[in-house]
A = this chain, B = another copy of it.
Amino acid sequence: MAEQAPWREVLQRALKKNSNCRHSRYVQLATVRPDGRPANRTVVYRGFLGDGLGESLGETDVLTFVTDCRSNKVGEIAHNPWAEVAWYFPDTREQFRLLGKLSVVNAATADEKLQKGRRAAWKTMSDPGRQQFMWPQPGEPRGGDDSIFKPEPPSADSPVLDAFCLVCLAVEEVDHIQLAKNLRHRYLRGGGGGGEWASQNVNP
């Protein structure tokens, strides 16, 4: 099994210290649109890949999110997989910037381990969270009938809807700033993203 990424423990400590803040798992995910302009939106951090499965999926530095396969970000990722997450923790006044490559796990993904991660994410969603995947095409003009936003929500045990995707961020670079202490630490993965992690203190 791969060595645990050195920043993972630091991030998990921040999550624990900020657990009273109900939106401490909300992060901002930046991607690049096919026309070269950036896109940025708030998403919910859903844990490291393999969390809660009782077994490692062999990766220790892959963050997960979920999305609708009809959302713009899926097309953006297909065009350019690079993304940067900005994660600010207000209670401890620290920020993590996590740069890496995204991949989308959808209904057609063959890898059984990744499908296991997708099903696990589906199960941990709330009923209203799962219901959203039955809504009409996101971003299209809204009609007058609001009842289509209130279908019977699928249960945790129902089959995973095709629109439901797991989004995996394989992190290659982390920038951690602690504003209260004026400290900044940078972690870099060598070997084109597949090698050892190195880190150093840099000027804030």
Contacts and interface: CB of A to CB of B under 8 A. Distances in A.
A89 B141 CA distance: 24
Contacts of A29: 40
Nearest to A132: B204
Nearest to A185: B142
B40 A84 contact: yes
Interface of chain A, main secondary structure:
strand
Contacts of A138: 202-204
A201 B141 contact: yes
A75 interface: no
Interface of A: 22-23, 26, 28-32, 36-42, 80, 82-86, 88, 90, 95, 97, 99, 132, 135-142, 149, 182, 184, 186, 200-204
